Chains A and B, each alone.
Chain A
Amino acid sequence: AQSVTQLGSHVSVSEGALVLLRCNYSSSVPPYLFWYVQYPNQGLQLLLKYTTGATLVKGINGFEAEFKKSETSFHLTKPSAHMSDAAEYFCAVTLSGTYKYIFGTGTRLKVLA
């Protein structure tokens, strides 16, 4: 069965510091992997996705993630945090050929001035 684990329900970083949000998945077949962002009182917005091909994926707002099959990980990074990055971030997985998303429990990012 598929599952997604996000380590750290709350992460705080200083403005300008590196952002690292961790996501590990469990899947018996190659997955499709996603990161979504949710700003307060809003729906989820796609940041980036990995389906096939290049394992380093670049998304919106300067975020990127690397698919590491050997580590079953898809960590989200941004070199320099901005105050506007404060939000909740969700990692999700689907199997190719299926449509049901499995979401992690989310990581709330706080950016300190």
Chain B
Amino acid sequence: NAGVTQTPKFQVLKTGQSMTLQCAQDMNHEYMSWYRQDPGMGLRLIHYSVGAGITDQGEVPNGYNVSRSTTEDFPLRLLSAAPSQTSVYFCASSSIRDRRSTEAFFGQGTRLTVV
């Protein structure tokens, strides 16, 4: 059981470049989300989705785009990378149907550096 899979694990971008961070889960979870982790700031929510075709903004959405065409996949797009987007990005998923199981499952993270 793979859980939540993120690719790539590491990425270096030049300012202005665009790229997509991939996230896939095989647990049939309805809820998926993207966080960025910066030193001393914990994890901050970028975007989230409660199901295919439904997305919404989190705490720090600017400069990022998401879509959810399938239950399994939730890619995060950086439209024009900036040095301020240097961070570690985590994708997470959880079940909405089973309210007793509120645990969020996290991917291994993508370490992004924008130069």
Partner-B contacts on A (CB < 8 A): 9, 32, 34, 36, 41-46, 49, 51, 90, 94, 96-97, 99-101, 103-106
Contact = CB atoms under 8 A, between A and B. Distances in A.
Contacts, number: 57
B100 A104 contact: no
Given A90-B42, A90-B43, A43 B90 contact: yes
Contact of B108 (A36, A43, A49, A103): A43
Interface of B: 4, 31, 33, 35, 40-45, 48, 50, 58, 90, 92, 94, 96, 99-100, 102-104, 106-109
SS class, residues of chain A in contact with chain B = loop
B94 A46 contact: no
Contacts of A96: 99
Contacts of A106: 40, 42
29 contacts: A32-B102, A34-B102, A34-B104, A41-B109, A42-B109, A43-B4, A43-B90, A43-B107, A44-B43, A44-B90, A44-B92, A44-B104, A49-B102, A49-B103, A51-B100, A51-B102, A90-B42, A90-B43, A94-B102, A99-B31, A99-B48, A100-B33, A100-B58, A101-B92, A103-B42, A103-B44, A105-B40, A105-B41, A106-B40
A61 B79 CA distance: 41
